[in-house]
Amino acid sequence: MTLPPSDDFGSIPIVDIRPLFDARDHEGALRVAHNIRKAAVEVGFFYIANHNVPADLVRAAYMCAKYFFRLPDEIKNSIAINGAHRGYVAFKQTVLEGARIADLKESFNFAYPFTPEHPEVLAGKPLVGLNQWLPNEATWRSILEDYYQHVFEAGQRVLEGIALSLDLKRDYFRSMYKHPLVRARLLHYPPQPPEAAAGQYGAAPHTDFGCITILWQDEVGGLQVRNRSGEWVPAPYIDGTFVVNIGDMLARWSNDLFVSTPHRVVNASGQERFSIPVFYDPDFDTTVECLPNCATADMPPKYDPIVAGDYITAKYDASYSYRQKKPAA
Ligand SMILES: O=C(O)CCC(=O)C(=O)O
Ligand SMILES: [Fe+2]
């Protein structure tokens, strides 16, 4: 039997981020930063505990997901995905780059609450626009908006940990999240039928596009993360936590110091599964170029500067049939 290289991972670490919520606990914050750095460099994935998003609110958002996906198709399709990628994406519309078969999932997408008069909206930037909510469902909407706001706050703390882990000022990323491309998604994976074709996934193997992703998942399980030996390591539900992972854009931003690790969802449980990823990306116009302290004499900056919104838009255009001219397979 060959053992994996000793630096390879067999599970996903848990980082208690509570010290990041106490401005006086500088020592604690540095400890968290150290743990985040280790996980971001070696695994690309970590759980966060003590994230300050109330358990009741998480539960309520889960119920909102269940409620929405049980509605008739006609109602879901009445708020079909718009050009700003907000609204309902039906089955068979998500074909991740490199996958042959569409993912077995449907989703509802919402994001930063822009108003029609916001300069970013008036400028017509891609992925920037108005959310679509079900009419006459004010409570459903307000729970999801509240969830978005709380996860946004948790994400700010995680970014503070990442900044400290790179010896940057704690608030280094804050000014880049004024009207951000932070996007939330309710996901519904029906049980994968036993006779499903090889290559049928809930979510085909992929890396996330952006900066970080903050994911809540239900207890059903099915998320798997690929280690460097090519083994699929389970990332099971752990009560009271979110799963955080590094996306392609942060890997690039960090000059590949941090890794964007492939992952997939295989829902072989026989039950339906729900999850809520929040793709935690900065303002459209953020310049993404090698972060301070990420280049060395041996490892000079590898990548040209890019605009965050352009980078993410290009990835979306490649992955969603509704954004392409040709119909989905
Ligand atoms: O549903 C999950 O657990 C993961 C979803 C995911 O990886 C994604 O939407 O990028
Ligand atoms: Fe993902």
Question: Among all ligands shown, which has an atom nearest to the Cα of 243?
Answer: 1
Burial class of 44 by CB neighbour count within 10 A (0 to 12, 13 to 18, 19+):
buried
Which position has the higher pLDDT, 317 or 131? 131
The Cα–Cα gap between 87 and 127 comes to 12
**pLDDT tier at 3, thresholds 50, 70, 90:** low
Closest to 112 measured CA to CA, from 129, 125, 126 = 129
Token readout for 84 is 């700003």
Atom 1 (ligand 1) nearest CA: 275
Backbone angles phi, psi at 313, to 5 degrees: -60, -40
> Cα dist. 4→1, 12, 231 in Å?
10, 16, 9
Q: How confident is the model at residue 325 (pLDDT cuts 50, 70, 90)?
A: low
Dist. CA 88 → ligand 2 center (Å): 18
pTM: 0.95
Cα–Cα distances (Å) from 315 to 180, 193, 228, 241, 312, in that order, read 17, 29, 24, 28, 5
Gap between the Cα atoms of 20 and 28, Å rounded: 7
The domain spans of the chain are: 14-322
Structure tokens of 109?
């997408």
203 Cβ closer than 6 Å to some ligand 1 atom = yes
Mean pLDDT on 54-80: 98
Task: Please compute the mean of the pLDDT values over residues 272-289 and round it to a whole number.
Answer: 98
| Residue 79 CA from chain centroid, whole number | 22
Residues with CB under 5 A from ligand 2 (ion): 208
Find the helix packing angle between 138-165 and 55-69, rounded to 10°: 130
Q: Which residues contact 184 (CB under 8 A, 6 or more apart)?
A: 109, 110, 111, 144, 147, 148, 151, 276, 277, 278, 279
Q: Higher model confidence: residue 40 or residue 197?
A: 40
Out of 145-154, 176-185, 309-318, which region has the weakest mean confidence (pLDDT)?
309-318
**Cβ count near 282 (within 10 Å):** 26
Rounded to 5 degrees, φ, ψ at 263 are: -150, 170
Q: Which percentage of the chain shows pLDDT scores above 70?
A: 94
Give the residues across from 15 on adjacent strands: 48
pLDDT band at 281 (very low <50, low <70, confident <90, very high): very high
Write the pLDDT tens digit of every residue in 78-103. 999 998 999 999 987 666 656 668 88
> Domain 14-322 falls in which CATH fold?
Jelly Rolls (2.60.120)
